[in-house]
């Protein structure tokens, strides 16, 4: 049996698509005891809520469980606006010890949730899936706050059937992403099978089951990880770096090991050298009973893991969400600085000299985004953590290459002044909380740009064509010469120059007629009357001469190297013939 004294509260993150019911579920778990300052009530932290074991056991409706569980309670990270719990690390693993993945049973998994599941898999974080909103099922007869099975057994058969169908769709989706899953009450081995619990955040049905399974997972998988040293130096993960009025830059963090005291020397991760500073104040939310007070926070001198707190200290500006924070002493500081630098450097963020600019909410999510972009061979000029600021926009809009005048934000906000500036500039912004959406949107945009510029080019560029003056078809000798021609390949347009087979310009096409009608272009195979300004028939041109559209050298280069894919077979043939003529005298022409 593990010594209870040294077990800290497991940290639980709640993930899932927006509107699938994370906040409602957390509110239900918190229940009404938030307000009360009474013993055993839940405690509000910064960015987290702690629910003590007594409250959980009571909610499970089985006091005898108290003896079975040794963890002191559960600490729920409860800032669901903060999407990237999954990328919050602690010592290379996930910060959260456990997770609840919420899915609307009527809608199934959305891409963001699937990404979260994959990250949980990578970090081997134990989790449960809750299939929420069962009360929305047609004909559902709620039994408020009952355990799922009690409620399920009271439903009509066709309602049960409908729920089962929806439920197995969720199981099937989990299977497709590589998880064995089953209804929680049928699972013997939670190590190899993911428990899925149908619930309603509204009616409270199934909530007790969620808490039971979480405690079970904590007990079974985490005991060893939850051992901590209450008097040891504090170890934390930065949740958020925030400006607070009157306090300057502050850092919200989850302390998951040891102790943190006012005046402690701390080391924090940043993109450059780790920050070394001293804790000026440790802040907790004021209890609700004192909320009338002017100040949102109350100061404390000391905290012990696991807690969510805010600290103020000098020089916090470069601090990064998702990086470690550790308490140091004169003896340990050098090693801690080195370790933290290594930990942050281990997050591979290689940048290129030219490329797009990216921002993400934490160092972990930035790394995930960089990895995915690299897989797609998308060049990155700069990668940074934080919301999109006015300065980012100014910087990116100074980039001339339009394909790099792009800012990609993952899980970040666009600050209001940045939004205004972006609207006035020509930069392209992509913001999303699903990595693969960002990448798809960016790729679609690049493709669109390419097509547009090809279209622009092909509209302005002179294309090659070959035509022949037909026999007995001289209608006028000169000024302009009017002759019948047959187009052998390519498309002939008016106002383009004509060369002979020595590459010498002989005149300019002034007009084209087909059966006495003026036309702007003539295609392969057509026989038309052509007015050519410049030559006199019998001198510069004569019957049966083969003539060519004179493609300027710069256009020839673009045709050959950039848009040859968009040329038709006979245009390509005309280009080849024309290049041969030009390169007879000058092998480097248009190269
Ligand atoms: P979040 O964005 O994941 O935090 O989702 P919320 O908890 O804010 O819920 C989104 C919406 O779904 C709100 O209108 C909730 O009232 C509603 N909702 C959440 N859980 C349930 C549920 O179990 N049943 C029903 N009918 N509605 C729910």
Least confident of 63-77, 153-167, 285-299, 372-386: 285-299
Confidence band (pLDDT; 50, 70, 90) for 92? low
Average pLDDT over residues 29-56: 69
CB 80 near ligand 1, within 6 Å: yes
Q: How many A from CA of 493 to the centre of ligand 1?
A: 64
CB 285 near ligand 1, within 6 Å: no
In the chain, the percentage of residues whose pLDDT exceeds 70 is 92
CB 202 near ligand 1, within 6 Å: yes
Nearest CA to ligand 1 atom 16: 24
CB 110 near ligand 1, within 6 Å: no
DSSP state of 65: G
User: Do 79 and 71 form a contact (C-beta atoms < 8 A)?
Assistant: no
- Which ipTM did the prediction report? 0.99
Nearest CA to ligand 1 atom 25: 133
Average pLDDT over residues 284-292: 65
Average pLDDT over residues 159-165: 97
* Run of H or E residues at 380: strand 380-385
Nearest CA to ligand 1 atom 11: 19
Gap between the Cα atoms of 474 and 198, Å rounded: 87
Q: Does residue 38 or residue 501 have the better pLDDT?
A: 501
CB 22 near ligand 1, within 6 Å: yes
**CATH code of the region 4-221:** 3.40.50.300
Q: Which residues are annotated as a binding site?
A: 16-23, 78-82, 132-135
pLDDT for residue 537 is more than 50: yes
Q: Which two tokens stand for residue 222?
A: 């985490």
Q: Which CATH number fits domain 356-458: 3.30.300.90, 3.10.20.600, 3.90.1150.10, 3.40.50.10050?
A: 3.40.50.10050
Q: How many A from CA of 21 to the centre of ligand 1?
A: 4
Gap between the Cα atoms of 335 and 341, Å rounded: 10
Q: Which of 17, 22, 24 to mutate to test the pocket of ligand 1 (most atoms within 8 A of CB)?
A: 24
Gap between the Cα atoms of 163 and 133, Å rounded: 11
Can you give the pLDDT at residue 34?
45
pLDDT for residue 367 is more than 70: yes
Distances (CA, A) of 577 to 184, 465, 497, 499: 74, 9, 16, 12
- Put residue 355 in one of left, alpha, beta given phi > 0 → left and psi -120 to 50 → alpha: left
Average pLDDT over residues 27-49: 66
Average pLDDT along the chain = 87
Q: How many other C-beta atoms can be found within 10 angstroms of the C-beta atom of residue 554?
A: 11
User: Do 412 and 388 form a contact (C-beta atoms < 8 A)?
Assistant: yes
Least confident of 267-276, 393-402, 428-437, 456-465: 456-465
User: Do 24 and 14 form a contact (C-beta atoms < 8 A)?
Assistant: no
**CATH code of the region 465-582:** 2.40.30.10
pLDDT for residue 388 is more than 90: yes
Can you give the pLDDT at residue 90?
58
Domain 4-221 matches domain 235-345 at the CATH topology level:
no
Q: How many A from CA of 45 to the centre of ligand 1?
A: 23
493-536 pLDDT per residue, tens: 999 999 999 999 999 999 999 998 999 899 999 999 999 999 99
Q: Which of 21, 25, 116, 139 to mutate to test the pocket of ligand 1 (most atoms within 8 A of CB)?
A: 21
Q: Does residue 240 or residue 151 have the better pLDDT?
A: 151
pTM of the full predicted structure? Answer: 0.68
Q: How many other C-beta atoms can be found within 10 angstroms of the C-beta atom of residue 188?
A: 8
Instruction: Give the burial string for 237-254 (b: 16+ CB within 10 Å, else e).
Output: bbbbbeeeeebebbbbbb
Domain extents in the chain: 4-221, 235-345, 356-458, 465-582
Can you give the pLDDT at residue 193?
94
Q: How many other C-beta atoms can be found within 10 angstroms of the C-beta atom of residue 13?
A: 29
Q: Which CATH architecture has domain 235-345?
A: Beta Barrel (2.40)
Confidence band (pLDDT; 50, 70, 90) for 1? very low
Q: Which two tokens stand for residue 569?
A: 């077979």
């Amino acid at each position: 049996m593990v010594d209870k004294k040294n077990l800290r509260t497991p940290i639980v993150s709640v993930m899932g698509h927006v509107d699938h019911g994370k906040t409602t579920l957390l509110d239900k778990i918190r229940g009404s005891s938030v307000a009360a300052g009474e013993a055993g009530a839940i405690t509000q932290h910064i960015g987290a809520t702690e629910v003590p074991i007594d409250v959980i056991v009571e909610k499970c409706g089985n006091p005898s469980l108290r003896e079975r569980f040794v963890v002191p309670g559960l600490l729920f990270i409860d800032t669901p606006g903060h999407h990237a719990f999954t990328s919050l690390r602690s010592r290379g693993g996930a910060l959260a010890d456990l997770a609840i993945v919420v899915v609307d049973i009527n809608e199934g998994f959305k891409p963001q949730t699937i990404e979260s599941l994959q990250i949980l898999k990578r970090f081997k974080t134990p989790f449960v899936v809750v299939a929420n909103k069962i009360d929305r099922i047609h004909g559902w007869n709620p039994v408020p706050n009952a355990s799922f099975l009690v409620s399920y057994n009271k439903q009509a058969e066709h309602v049960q059937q409908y729920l089962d169908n929806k439920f197995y769709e969720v199981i099937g989706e989990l299977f497709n992403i590589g998880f064995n899953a089953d209804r929680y009450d049928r699972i013997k081995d939670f190590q190899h099978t993911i428990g899925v619990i149908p619930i309603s955040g509204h009616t409270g049905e199934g909530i007790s089951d969620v808490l039971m399974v979480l405690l079970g997972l904590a007990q079974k998988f985490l005991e060893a990880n939850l051992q901590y040293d209450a008097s040891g130096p504090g170890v934390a993960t930065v949740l958020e770096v925030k400006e607070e009025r009157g306090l300057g830059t502050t850092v919200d963090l989850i302390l998951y090991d040891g102790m943190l005291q006012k005046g402690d020397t701390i080391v924090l991760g940043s993109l450059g050298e780790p920050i070394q500073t001293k804790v000026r104040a440790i802040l907790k939310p004021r209890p609700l009973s004192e909320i009338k007070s002017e100040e949102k926070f109350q100061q404390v001198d000391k905290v012990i893991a696991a807690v969510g707190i805010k600290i103020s200290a000098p020089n916090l500006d470069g601090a990064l969400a998702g990086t470690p924070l550790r308490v140091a002493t004169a003896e340990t500081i050098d090693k801690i600085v080195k370790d933290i630098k290594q930990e942050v450097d281990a997050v591979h963020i290689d940048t290129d000299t030219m490329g797009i600019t990216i921002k993400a909410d934490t160092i972990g999510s930035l790394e995930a985004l960089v990895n995915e972009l690299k897989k797609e061979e998308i060049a990155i000029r700069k990668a940074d953590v934080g919301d999109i600021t006015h300065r980012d926009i100014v910087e990116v809009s100074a980039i001339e290459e339009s394909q790099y005048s792009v800012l990609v934000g993952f899980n970040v906000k666009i600050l209001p002044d940045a939004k205004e500036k972006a609207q006035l500039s020509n930069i392209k912004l992509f913001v999303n909380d699903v990595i693969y959406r960002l990448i798809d949107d960016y790729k679609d945009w690049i493709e669109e740009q390419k097509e547009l510029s090809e279209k622009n080019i092909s509209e302005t560029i002179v294309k090659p064509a070959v035509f022949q003056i037909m026999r007995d078809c001289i209608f006028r000798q000169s000024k302009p010469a009017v002759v019948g021609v047959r187009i052998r390949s390519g498309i002939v347009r008016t106002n383009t120059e004509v060369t002979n087979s020595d590459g010498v310009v002989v005149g300019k096409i002034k007009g084209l007629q087909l059966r006495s009608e003026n036309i702007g272009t003539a295609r392969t195979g057509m026989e038309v009357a052509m007015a050519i300004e410049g030559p006199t028939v019998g001198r510069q041109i004569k019957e049966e001469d083969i003539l060519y559209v004179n493609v300027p050298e710069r256009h020839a280069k673009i045709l050959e190297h950039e848009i040859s894919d968009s040329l038709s077979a006979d245009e390509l043939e005309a280009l080849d013939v024309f290049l041969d003529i030009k390169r007879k005298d000058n092998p480097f022409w248009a190269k």
